[in-house]
A and B are shown apart, each in its own frame.
Chain A
Amino acid sequence: MTAIEARGLRKSYGKFVALDGINLRVEEGRILGLIGPNGAGKSTALNAALGLTAFEGSLSVLGRNPWTERDSLMTDVCFIADVAVLPRWMKVSQAVDYVAGVHPRFDRAKAEALLAKTAIRPNSRVRQLSKGMVTQLHLALVMSIDARLLVLDEPTLGLDIIYRKQFYDSLLNDYFDKSRTIIVTTHQVEEIEHILTDVVFIDRGRILLDSAMDAVAERYAELMVTPENLAAARALRPIHERQVFGRGVLLFADVDRGTLSALGEVRTPSLADLFVAIVGGAAHQGAAA
């Protein structure tokens, strides 16, 4: 089943085009990383999918139009918009009571078990918790909701690395299964790349890459070229080139690995390097044009 299907999804604020007619299809049971620079349109796309903002084009989330059928959609969808959105006056126990009282798919016992593993006390108010604890609380609430689609927009913003790692491990171990779909946006690409099944690069309202992670490994290769082979490697038309310790590192798309391995050391590029090559390259062309 398809979790999200967008066709010609467009959104503009006055003259500024936040989403420039994107097409996207996310199957159920995937973990999609939506990656792009600030102002690329990530949050706009997510807000459209969550029925928080109007859009042009067609968009279907779990078979519903999020703008016109938001109320029923919210039973199946959960999201964390930002770490700072839990009301600061609320007590931890009140947050649990409230969600249990309004959400038919909330499992109170699971939330309490998850919270028991943290240092968060039920009587604390959100304003008394550290940033990391607020995120843990929010995550414990959200992970105890049996939602079919979970959207996380920069969920680890402002957290230190230990919390960030815990966050994603917990998400993968305690929550994810094949009937659920997760969409994550983040700036810390390297921390989520091992949990993703799919990746989308987005920049200035357009999708520059939309691929399964396995396909990324098949399609893209990074070559650390020996100096004498540099000219030969460049002849294969790399999409990006950079220098590491004085040696050329060239990124290729759709070039046979056997051919490349004759010229130097070949490996699969990290998402961060691929992002720089594809999005950075596009930005370059945009600036030149």
Chain B
Amino acid sequence: MSAPSDTFDPTIAATPPAPSHAVRPFYWSVRRELWENRSLYVAPIVAAAVVLLGFLVSMSMLSHFHKLTSLADLDSGDLAAPFGAGAVLVMLAGFIVALFYSLGALHNERRDRSILFWKSMPVSDFLTVLSKAAIPLLVMPAIVLGVVFPLHFVMLVVEMVVFAAHGLSPMALLSSLDPVARETMLIYGLITAAIWYVPVFGWLFLVSGWARRVTFLWAILPPIGLCVFEQIALGTHHIANLLGHRLFGAADAAFNSQNPGSAMHMMLTDVDPLGFIGRVDVWLGVVIGAAFFGAAVWLRRYRDPI
């Protein structure tokens, strides 16, 4: 199967000890996560491909069945809707794979015992958890941007070409769609969502590092149990409201919108960074999430690895 390695090879053995070379443990730890979890970027790309395909079909319908004479034939909301929907779909795909990634982040390595390999490397548990936490909180927003930007660009170009083919001004379309405002909102939305969801990902990391089996059940049953307990014991549902607010309230917290919850119709004027930064629940969430991540570091460091 292999060349015998028992023949003594002096050229290899005589190699002088390697001088210490510079290392980038954080960078390589993040890369290693992307090697293992290719769905992190495949899912958003697939979502974008679906959006683009749907959009191309709708454009061909538009050029076949509508006789476009002026931009007024379509209101700007209709024109903008596919862009917003596309961004939301890609974000949703990224969010879902990030949730599942987090649930396995500190569990899979224990299940397949590879943690003993990772722990044989000079990478501290703090740095390991930090690099894994960077996936949902930094890398995923960057991936979504990296997918949505080109998606929107292609959609815009196609739409402008279709309009020009009908003798309409592509520039009028461009100003109507206002891509700069849209992409600014996207960046703002991703940053605020990453901050907003710190406690959610922190909780999943903690469960991932703690549970020996069935991480999914450990992640969702205790919160549900708390809600049920409160409902029965006190007849109130503060916990359920709190959890619902945390899971679905990111856009409400970040945007000062007239029609809350509808990310597709938000305007640049709805962006409210000062309001977001001033919210107590935002920072309370960050503190609680940091505590969850800290507990996950502690578990990886001090608990028997297998």
Contact = CB atoms under 8 A, between A and B. Distances in A.
Interface of A: 47, 50, 52-54, 70-71, 74-75, 78-82, 84-91, 94, 97-99, 101-107, 109-110, 113-114, 117-120, 130, 132-133, 136, 138, 142, 144, 146, 165-166, 169-170, 173-175
Contacts of B4: 166
- Chain B residues touching A, range: 35 or more
A101 B28 contact: yes
Contacts of A104: 20-23, 122
A70 B304 CA distance: 14
Contacts of A118: 2-3, 5
Contacts of A142: 120
B75 to A, nearest CB: 49
Interface string B100-131: 00000000010011111101111110000000
Given A79-B120, A85-B113, A109-B15, A103 B32 contact: no
A107 B18 CA distance: 5
Contact of B112 (A70, A87, A113, A166): A87
B2 A133 contact: yes
Contact of A88 (B1, B32, B112): B112
Contacts, number: 134
A102 B35 contact: no
Contacts of A132: 1-2
B9 interface: yes
Contacts of A130: 1
Given A119-B3, A136-B5, A84 B113 contact: yes
A103 B121 contact: yes
A166 B5 contact: yes
Given A71-B124, A74-B120, A119-B2, A106 B18 contact: yes
Contact of B35 (A89, A117, A170): A89
A133 B15 contact: no
B12 A113 contact: yes
Closest A-B pairs by Cβ, 10 of them: A101-B28, A107-B18, A81-B116, A169-B6, A87-B114, A104-B20, A119-B2, A74-B122, A102-B25, A71-B124
Contacts of A89: 35-36
B5 A169 contact: yes
5 contacts: A71-B122, A87-B109, A102-B122, A118-B5, A170-B5
B25 A146 contact: no
B117 A101 contact: no
A53 B119 CA distance: 12
Contact of A54 (B31, B113, B120, B302): B302
B23 A103 contact: yes
Contact of A52 (B3, B113, B119): B119
Nearest to A104: B20
Interface string B1-41: 11111101101110101101111110111011001100000
Contact of A101 (B1, B18, B23, B124): B23
B305 interface: yes
Given A106-B21, A117-B9, 4 more contacts: A107-B15, A113-B11, A166-B4, A166-B6
Contacts of A102: 23-25, 28-29, 121-123
B191 to A, nearest CB: 28
A107 B19 CA distance: 8
A174 B112 contact: no
Contacts of B27: 101
Contacts of B114: 85-88
A89 B104 CA distance: 15
Contacts of B12: 110, 113-114, 174
A98 B23 CA distance: 10
Nearest to A52: B305
Interface in B46-87: none
B3 A117 contact: yes
A212 B302 CA distance: 34
Nearest to B12: A113
Contact of B25 (A94, A101, A117, A165): A101
Contacts of A75: 122
Contacts of A78: 120
